[in-house]
Structure 1
């Protein structure tokens, strides 16, 4: 039987405007394309898990509006169990306003809307899904009391808890002490630890701060440098920098979400951490080569083909 992944998190309608450069305060600029795309870090990660081959359930709140009902249908098409995705009357589905510049960097503002209803009470009402899961994956676009409650329920029921601490913000030790694995990028790692992460040495320092808070596995994504992994296994510290795949990015919007989805799927299939991170790196690399959030998330076949081609190319150059 396949291991079960439960993703708890946000759903947004992403309004994406592509621009040559970001506006300064008071400046009006003209974009060259505009799209409304399904997004939200929770939804992106759930879609990534499902497309990459994971048995995936999603816990989320959407508005009782046209976009909310449309996105639920899209989740079902991607193979996601939506029993714990609930339309909430009287509120809108979450919204993200996104500028993407010509260097593929993004600038994002979010209105939580229905995402704010994914709170402690909602989680308690739907706790069976947490108890039944093998992995719980969550982020920080929904209320922290709901996330803490979910993490505690998971811990009490031997469900492995993974936190992608994005968007970056300070977190309580009460939450961090209930996390098994955390996956910050460099900015998020600095926010949580006070350590400016620039290379492997500083990444190791930041990871130690998180280990001291009770987290056994730390993975810091570091862009072109790759992903730094730090694990405490049976009292022994193991650390490694895992190289990225070299690609030309066009849009980084859901790269981290795709990485997290790929990581969880690979771990569910029994891969060791090094292999799981390599697979996740490939998933993220494919994502940045496409525009949008969920529109950029690859399928399992696409990732396996990409990794095979990259391996063959590497071998030809040895």
Structure 2
């Protein structure tokens, strides 16, 4: 089934930089989602474009261990933070557990499609192993920085549907669901970190989060790039060609990497908080798109006529 969700550009354009007070932020809620087992229908499932596909496949390959690391980093704080933050941490953990589960399933499908994702798995295991024996604060700081990455990439996917245009609804649903929940809980790890470091001086807090963000950024860029190149090597693409096209796909005009540079840099602003950017309309857009996909699927199950948007996209 080809993607048929509506493009609500008004919602995307109305994303603002006016800080959202805690009482107005969306509830963090783990949705009861299970991906369609046959969602992966082709090796290059993003418009038959190996480079666009490699980006998402490389992310999926590292999500299970990455999400597990973040869960383990937040668990010790569930009893150390007050309500309502404690409830948000518990919901965060439940959401991330669901993401890990569904990307384990997607990764099995990638292996079934002929990819060897073991090299990418080793990279994320090596990253996580760096924090073995580290303090709870250090693990939490790393998680806060990783969450900034996942949130800005998720927001970009919701804001600009062209990144997943032409993707079949079953796979599109997985990534939209994941994106919605990442944006929804984008402030949780940050708020826990603020609570954990409340007695620190402002310069100390700023220095720690800035240094960690630079380190996480370096690791993310190098390892996700190498992950894409490895998957493309398995497609028969040479290193130089793969590197050139990965850079072009990610950082050329309209590329995800290029588009998230500005929101990435916001992290270094003194006094920054993830909800300084009001993504509530973006979340509403994502929920509406997911509802459209679910309605289309329900229509097929009932044997009804193909909805007009799907008929046009087919």
State the TM-score, normalizing by the size of structure 1: 0.29
More helix by share: 2
TM-score (normalised: structure 2):
0.29
Q: More strand per residue: 1 or 2?
A: 1
